[in-house]
Amino acid sequence: MMSSWMNWGHPDMESLVEWADGQASPGIVAHLARCRPCWEQGLRIRDSVQAARRGEIPEGTLEEVLQELQMRMRGALAGGSNVAAALEHYFGKQVVRELESSTHWDAGQKPLLSGARPLFHAFLGRKAADALTSRLADVA
């Protein structure tokens, strides 16, 4: 139950590979339009798949690349979800949506934690904000 909660709304690796192949469902496409970490993972998978097709990566190593991407995806999902969970606990769901939408697409934008830090700092104080961000770094 906890696991499904943590992955709530994020597509799994198989769905991202389908998207990279141009076969994703509209739901996945809509999610990637909103969620920057998933969008970036999707792009990496697409680049790897295309590189493999062009013969830049030997077919045999594609599985290894995907495994590596899967590991990174796990880290990104866990890190992002931890920040989202903390934001939701202290502020609410709305702020998570707002921060996610404001950090999406623009490559110059900072990730969710960077958006959360000023909120933690202002409303909970430096001491509490530092404790929260260091815990988030530990669990990511």
Binding site for another protein (CB under 8 A): 2-7, 12-13, 70, 73-75, 77-78, 82, 85-96, 98, 118-129, 131-132, 134-136, 138-140
> Of the two residues 55 and 63, which places its CB atom closer to another protein in the complex?
63
> Of the two residues 29 and 71, which places its CB atom closer to another protein in the complex?
71
> Of the two residues 53 and 93, which places its CB atom closer to another protein in the complex?
93
> Of the two residues 56 and 80, which places its CB atom closer to another protein in the complex?
80
Shortest reach from residue 30's CB to another protein, in Å: 20
Shortest reach from residue 16's CB to another protein, in Å: 10
Contact yes or no for 20/46 (Cβ under 8 A): yes
Shortest reach from residue 9's CB to another protein, in Å: 12
Shortest reach from residue 67's CB to another protein, in Å: 11
> Of the two residues 49 and 88, which places its CB atom closer to another protein in the complex?
88
Q: Burial code of 45-75, b = ≥16 C-beta within 10 A, e = fewer?
A: bbebbeebeeeebeeeeeeebbeebeeebee
Shortest reach from residue 56's CB to another protein, in Å: 26
